[in-house]
Amino acid sequence: MAFSKAPWRNLLWLAAILILLLWPIHRFVESYYLEGLTRKNEQTLDLFVANLQGTLQRYEVLPQILGRLPSVQQALLNPTDPASLKTANTLLKNIQQQTGADVIYLMNTQGLTLAASNWDKERSFVNNSFDFRPYFSNALKYGQGEFFGLGNISFKRGYYFGGAVDANNQVQGVIVVKVDLDFTETLWGQTPEQLLVTDRNGVIILTSQPEWRFKATRELDPEEQLSIAEHQPYTSINPERITIKSPDWLKLNHLLPEIGWQVSIFTPRRLLSEPVNTAMAVVSASLLAILLIFGLLMQRKRHYLERIALDTQAKRELEDNVRTRTQDLQTLNSRLKQEVLERESTQQALVRTQDDLVQASKLSALGIMSASISHELNQPLAAIRSYTDNAKVLLDKQRLEETKNNLNLIASLTERMASIIEHLRAFARRDRYASEHVALQPAIDDTLNLVAKRQANLSIEIINTTPETTLWVEAGETRLRQILSNLVSNAFDALSESSQPRQLWLTTQVADGWVVLTLRDNAAGFTQEALEQAYEPFYTTKTSAKGLGLGLAICHSLTQALKGRLVLANHPEGGALVTLYLRQIPEANLLNSSEDSFK
């Protein structure tokens, strides 16, 4: 049957073409998954770098601020006065506890530590000399200095900010703030990707792999080795060399030129090869199915031609016998109908297979998005679970203050999760700097709920006349609640020192595009000195047990950042009057913003 050779030859040609298509398809699939993996790692790297830079920037200006405090200057001017040193030690410890710094310590011009926040600890820095550290010499020479290294007393890693302390128009010493960066490694979590942060010498200082810590990624030149021996930043003056095999990892770098650090993410290549191999298996199976279907159709066609030939032969043989010929034709017709039904069934199976492939691609895209969100939220959720279990144990032991601290930590983690989700949305929109539209009344209600217990203890009557109609303002959820919390807490502090009845009025009005919120109490009000210096950091009329005088300074800074105003005055009938101006967001803008967010 010579007519059957051509279809089989066509089938072989089709198989060859499909096999040749596997290579460009593999390149395309690999490029697709590599792009997605790179995009996810870039987002993760940006979030980590932003967290690291934010941590360092938060403490960068603290030495200059602390150097202007009178207690710090008096300790340097009177190094033999026990009272001055005790005052400095107590101040530095209080500031360290409130700022979250690892250690804050004060040195004279010879590098000898006179006072420190850990003065009462076993490994106190007091009476220890750190004149060999660059942050000390640079601070004396240039006014400020920075350095990363391993503490030779605490044996803890940290980033040091040093600032010169001027008194009587002369540099009297250096104050240093040490920032603990160990927690940045724990933020990474247990993921296949590995984190590396290397310094100017190419030495790994932060990593998610403890065995890689303080190992060199390249050969050090003699000048670098001399600097390491002089400043002692690592556990060894000659760090061990580590070699990371490039074929096994996909590397993504982010350079921090200000401090000379390089943040890298090393992703196992299997995270790319596994989905690529899976996708190629699906593609290969699909191509094989197409090839089998084509072969089946050709086989059907061959059988069909054979049936036609037999039919023609039967007609010639049975022309003389009409009855027999009619019977044979009916039988053949029945068989042809069955074949048509089978062909239609095959076509329906092909349509169902195509629908299954489309659904599989949708599930794959959903899985990638779910994996990204799960990767970002896994660590905060684990921490919340840990803090919740700890809070249950503390509650059973009636350790209420520690339980409250755990709950505060849980609240911070939930805010962090909201921030992570917002960052993911911002990356998807390619709009990182979009302003927020915040409802004012819920923020006020949340603030009053937070202080409800203290309100009851102080017997304070709150007269809240804010309207029920929602007022939208241009602000940030967290920043607005921080401002309101500080203002209400200041009012409660003032009322706690006044006699009964204690009252606090909250009123709101809209004027010329501003939402104006006023808080008035019936306490003693502001003094003239307080009105002039209330926005200065560390100025306070309270005792040290109630604050360091940062509340109104922070509120003023946050309000300016929100393009608003904060005005302090005394009410004509007595008491303090605080007025907060926030930009109003009209209802039409809210509708447009909501519609845009879904595009």
Strand, helix or coil for residue 100? coil
Between CA 63 and CA 115 the distance in angstroms is 14
Between CA 150 and CA 214 the distance in angstroms is 10
> What is the 3-class SS of 274-330, one letter each residue?
HHHHHHHHHHHHHHHHHHHHHHHHHHHHHHHHHHHHHHHHHHHHCCCCHHHHHHHHH
Q: Is residue 292 part of a domain?
A: no
**Residue 547: left (phi > 0), alpha (psi -120 to 50), or beta?**
left
> What is the 3-class SS of 12-43, one letter each residue?
HHHHHHHHHHHHHHHHHHHHHHHHHHHHHHHH
Distances (CA, A) of 97 to 187, 480, 526, 570: 22, 25, 29, 33
Between CA 355 and CA 263 the distance in angstroms is 44
Instruction: Specify the pTM.
Output: 0.45
Contact 117/105 with Cβ under 8 angstroms? yes
Q: Is residue 361 part of a domain?
A: yes
Between CA 285 and CA 294 the distance in angstroms is 14
Q: How far is CA 301 from the centre of its chain?
A: 62
Distances (CA, A) of 92 to 30, 173, 176, 209, 480: 56, 15, 11, 34, 30
Q: What is the pLDDT of residue 113?
A: 94
Strands 157-167 and 170-179: antiparallel
Q: Are residues 170 and 199 in the same domain?
A: no
- Residue 363, classified by CB atoms within 10 Å of its CB into exposed (0-12), middle (13-18) or buried (19+), is exposed
Between CA 92 and CA 77 the distance in angstroms is 17
CATH classification at residue 513: 3.30.565.10
* pLDDT tens digits, 54-83: 888 889 899 999 989 999 999 999 999 999
Q: Is residue 134 part of a domain?
A: yes
Q: Is residue 55 part of a domain?
A: no
Q: Are residues 157 and 208 in the same domain?
A: no
Distances (CA, A) of 298 to 150, 333, 464, 491, 545: 75, 21, 84, 88, 91
Q: Are residues 508 and 370 in the same domain?
A: no
φ and ψ of 232, to 5 deg: 55, 55
Q: Is residue 139 part of a domain?
A: yes
Sign of the Cα pseudo-torsion (186, 190, 371, 390, in order)? negative
Closest CA to 133 of 178, 88, 187: 178
Q: Is residue 295 part of a domain?
A: no
Preceding omega of 501 cis (within 30 degrees of 0): yes
In the chain, which stretches have pLDDT less than 70?
A: 1-8, 11, 187, 189, 246, 350-351, 353-380, 382-383, 413, 416, 419-435, 539, 542-550, 587-599
Q: Are residues 453 and 418 in the same domain?
A: no
Q: Are residues 463 and 583 in the same domain?
A: yes
Structural domain count of the chain: 4
Q: Is residue 42 part of a domain?
A: no
Strand, helix or coil for residue 514? strand
Q: Are residues 564 and 498 in the same domain?
A: yes
Sign of the Cα pseudo-torsion (296, 302, 304, 307, in order)? negative
Distances (CA, A) of 445 to 206, 452, 464: 42, 10, 10
**Strand locations in 330-453, DSSP E?**
437-439
Strand, helix or coil for residue 256? strand
Q: Are residues 157 and 237 in the same domain?
A: no
Q: Are residues 464 and 556 in the same domain?
A: yes
CATH classification at residue 427: 1.10.287
Q: Is residue 253 part of a domain?
A: yes
Strand, helix or coil for residue 398? coil
Q: What is the pLDDT of residue 92?
A: 93
Q: Are residues 91 and 214 in the same domain?
A: no
**Last residue within a domain, chosen from 434, 451, 479:** 434
List the 204-207 sheet strands across, edge first: 204-207, 194-198, 261-268, 249-256
Q: What is the pLDDT of residue 380?
A: 58
Q: Are residues 195 and 252 in the same domain?
A: yes
Sign of the Cα pseudo-torsion (111, 112, 116, 118, in order)? positive
Closest CA to 478 of 512, 432, 515, 447: 447
Q: How many residues does the chain have?
A: 599
Q: Are residues 235 and 159 in the same domain?
A: no
Strand, helix or coil for residue 176? strand
**Last residue within a domain, chosen from 268, 290, 325:** 268
Measured distance between the N- and C-terminal CA atoms of the chain, rounded to whole angstroms = 63
Between CA 164 and CA 107 the distance in angstroms is 10
Q: Are residues 72 and 124 in the same domain?
A: yes
**Last residue within a domain, chosen from 120, 145, 180:** 180
Q: How far is CA 166 from the centre of its chain?
A: 38
Q: Which helix (H) or strand (E) holds 494?
A: helix 477-496
Tell me which residue range forms the domain holding 140: 62-180
Cβ-proximal residues to 536 (8 Å cutoff; 6+ apart), any chain: 549, 553
Q: What is the pLDDT of residue 434?
A: 44
Contact 106/115 with Cβ under 8 angstroms? yes
Cβ-proximal residues to 81 (8 Å cutoff; 6+ apart), any chain: 74
Closest CA to 485 of 527, 519, 521, 525: 519
Q: What is the pLDDT of residue 360?
A: 47
CATH classification at residue 213: 3.30.450.20
